[in-house]
Amino acid sequence: MAQTPRPTHPLSIDEAWAFTAANAAATTFFFDFDGVLSPVTDDPDASQPAPAVPGVLERLAEVVQRVAIVSARPVSFLRSRFSSLERVDLYGLYGLEVWHEGEVVTEPAALPWVPAMADLAERAKAELPAPVLVEYKRLSVALHYRTAPQEALAVERWAHEQAESVGLRTQAGRMVVELKPPVDQDKGMVITEGVRDAGCAWYFGDDMSDIKAFDALRAREAVDPSFFGVAVAVANPETGAEVSSAADLTLESPEAVVQFLTAGLTRF
């Protein structure tokens, strides 16, 4: 590690970038997708990264040890949006799927749940009010009520009933409830493993599930005085206040994330 002193929290942007540039060879950047690299859309299938995102991630991957996207989306979806990226790892479904060096690896403990999730998706479409959008992801089912906020309680009630009867777990998010297999895997666990050999790591998130990733950075700092973690929240009107309160820095939008990274890259 370089001799640059580890900044203390709360920190300044200048301090964070100075330490990162001095320790680039041991630094990892992690990004959520929706709300961080892409604006949130009413139709999840319509989401696309902000125009400058692929280019800035590729440039970042050239100067730091590792860049990764950690998302609730399947790896297949992430690959369809980032097919041009050669150096960026993809964690799908909260880490149940991983795309690394041209190969997809699926958590074996989750695979037996594929039929149950398919059945759940069909029942959700039949039993929930029509405005609720059911997103089937092979190893999870997301119930979006963004276009029908009045159905929030009905969606949450149905999801919790299914979780109890089938033995699933729920994850609340921005106008969505997700049902997942009862497998110990979340963004915090992805980051805990991902920073094991890192000297510095950044995580950019906007939703409740990202707070676990922020916590993983804090936990690593607590046991390793040389490690430096930066938690960045992307503001939004739904979960922004709670996520921002858990972060070191707050940015206003995916476009602001691009501008922030572009400015930071001039330090390397």
Cα 107 from Cα 111, distance rounded (Å) = 7
CB 247 within 8 A of CB 227: no
| Tokens 């299938």 belong to residue | 45
Sheet architecture: strand order including 228-234: 103-106, 97-100, 88-92, 66-70, 27-31, 200-205, 228-234, 249-251
- Catalytic center residues: 32
Tokens read off for 78 = 């992430």
Question: CA dist 141 to 98, 114, 217, 231, Å?
Answer: 18, 10, 28, 28
Q: What is the DSSP string of 20-41?
A: HHHTGGGEEEEE-SBTTTB---
| Residues facing residue 170 across a β-bridge | 179
Neighbours of 91 (CB within 10 A): 25
Cα 249 from Cα 254, distance rounded (Å) = 14
Cα 163 from Cα 170, distance rounded (Å) = 7
